[in-house]
Structure 1
Amino acid sequence: MIFGFYAAAAAMVVVALALVLVPMIRHARDEGRQRQVFMLALVITLLIPLCTVGLYLTVGTPVALNGVPKQTPINIDQAIAELQQHLKDKPDDVQGWQLLAQTYSQMHKTANARDAYGKVLALDPNNTAAMVGWAEADSIERHDHMIDGHALELLERSVQLEPDNQRGLWLLGISRFQHGRYDDALTAWRQLQPLLEPGSKVAQAVAEQIAVAQARAGGAMQPATPESAPNGPALDIEVSIAPALQDKLATGDVLFVYARAEQGPPMPLAVAKLTPGTWPIHVTLTDAMAMAPQMKLSSASRVFVGARISKSGQATAQSGDLEGDAGVVDVASKTPIKITLDKVH
């Protein structure tokens, strides 16, 4: 690189001198002053290159001749490793922990994100962004995607501290909806509505979910009819119980009938919560029975359909629950689906 530069520079100097000196010498020869002009040309030939080199070394940038060194791009793992090392040295850096949590969230490493948000809350208990982030990461990490317990407490507190926290209000409404508290869900989402840009996709999604909650308010997950969702799928399900398990039924038992995607997260796309009575029990699952607006029956082509008698009253399966399923069926199916509760969890 350096040799090529100097060679090119020398060639340019030679050419420039030739263009100046050759006509000068010819003119001097014609006038009989060849010796004097030759000496002058010799001085110019030696002096100009030396001055050029000296001037470049004085005010130029010789190191630039080596080229600009290539910078090795840093990847996300290196960036996280450096941030983690920084946090080891300065464990009280709230912004650093929050950046790490947000990075993990973007990478879908929800368990790591939840831990990092926990560090933020340990340092700054009133950090509403960390409260909402922890609750969201926790719900994604759970196999049933429920928002309850500590996550629900954090969401409620975040909204108390920051009433216009849009993400907090949205998730708080989802949590209340999941637990059948439709009026409370409506309160959260109606508080959220004025904060959204009119006509935006988010505003439309909230409006749709408000309509679903309104339709179900006071119904405590009562069976929906096909007319409640005329433009969507409707799975007619008949649930019975095996004679051998009849004596395991008890007062307070709750029947959950659900459909979840054949592949993907285990969160139900539709679920009905019923009080067992006369068998068989009939129910129709529709889009109106979704637990979240983005995850409903019409979002899948095939679903796994099952039913469970919960002894605790909770949606999450526990030891002693009675279960049965109809396997995977087509969402567009119009044929009645029969399920027999014949297993003990």
Structure 2
Amino acid sequence: MNLLWLGIALLLLPALWLVILPLRRTRPLHDAQQAFETKQRTDAQNVAVYRQRLASLETAHARGELDTARVEEGRLELERSLLEDTQVRRRTPLNPPQAGRLLVPLVMVALVVASLLWYQREGAEGDLALYAVHQEVRNSPDGSLAMLIERLEEQAKRQPDNPKVWMSLFPLYRDSNRGRDAIAALERLIELEGRQPSLLAQLAQIQFFVANRSLTDEVQALVDETLGQDPRQPTVLGMLGIHAFDRARYEEAIDYWRRAIAGFDDPGSAEALREGIAVAQQRLDASSDQVDAHQAAQDGASLAVRVGLAESLRERAAPGDTVFVIARDVAGELPPLAVERVTVSDLPLKVTLGDNNAMTPRARLSQVNEVRLTARVSASDEATPQPGDLVGEAGPVTLGESDSPVEISIDRIVD
């Protein structure tokens, strides 16, 4: 740090020299101007002009061109003009060379103070201290990650409002498996820098791993906020791919990772995602073979469902409103396994759900042993539940456990 202040002092010396330079030139400039004005013969020139004009008047009088009165009048006019020119050309005396000397040291002090105050506000003294810390640890024989973290934590106490301190700390905490400390450092960085998508994405990723690779409500909120600002944010897309892969949703993981690769500038990260895509594709192919074998073993899997509408809600449903009867896997990890669509006028109604009601070949009723059933009345004909829809649920129901239809009563209003 002493080198910093020495450098500032060296930079100020030329500035101070320029401030006092006019003062050093005052005496020679004053003497030169004084000599110039002393040597000037302006008054003598005016007298010479006066005499020439007066001689012209007298010559004209001798020739008879002017009478005596006109000559006297001309002489008076020339004398008056000579006096006026002499008065106008009188100069005020020069100021002494010492005038204004006290202002120079005041300007010098103001220059030094203003420079120091500006540097404290706009300078990079804190960043220089961070650089010194990194150099110290790097050159130390005992230098280690723990030592670097300790030194940076000291800087965080000294300059808590410097975002570069927290930008240096949080990846070190993360790599040291200090997830909570990494989260705290990153949250502080976000307070200082604003809720930028890249920072929010890293915060979501750290919280995701701290929560054992789970999408908690807090992580999901960060994911939604990040993708709302940048739908192609690669860190978040990569994390969502990991979450889908862990839950055997390999198609979804592949889709997330492909989109993430397009946003990564780091070739290493892109290559890692490509390797993940290859593994997911292998597992997808293997699971597809298992699904086909399971389907062959349980060919003809079906479930009978009887759907009715509670009397208390009949006035809230029109005869033409759509009724969706949906079967889902118990874990909720797959798309709907079977969907049947009828109208309120058909109720009460018995339907049989099977593989022919599947929305996709990779999500069928015959893939699972248990399902949850939902019957929903939608006036808007939307597949996604809307406030005001009427709904009823049943399950979990084990397939093949009973030949009797599963009863579903639509008896609740979606909030």
Shorter chain as denominator, the TM-score bin is 0.3 to 0.5
Greater relative contact order: 1 or 2 (C-alpha under 8 angstroms, separation 6 or more)?
1
**TM-score normalized by structure 1?**
0.40
**TM-score normalized by structure 2?**
0.35
Structure whose residues are more often helix by fraction: 2
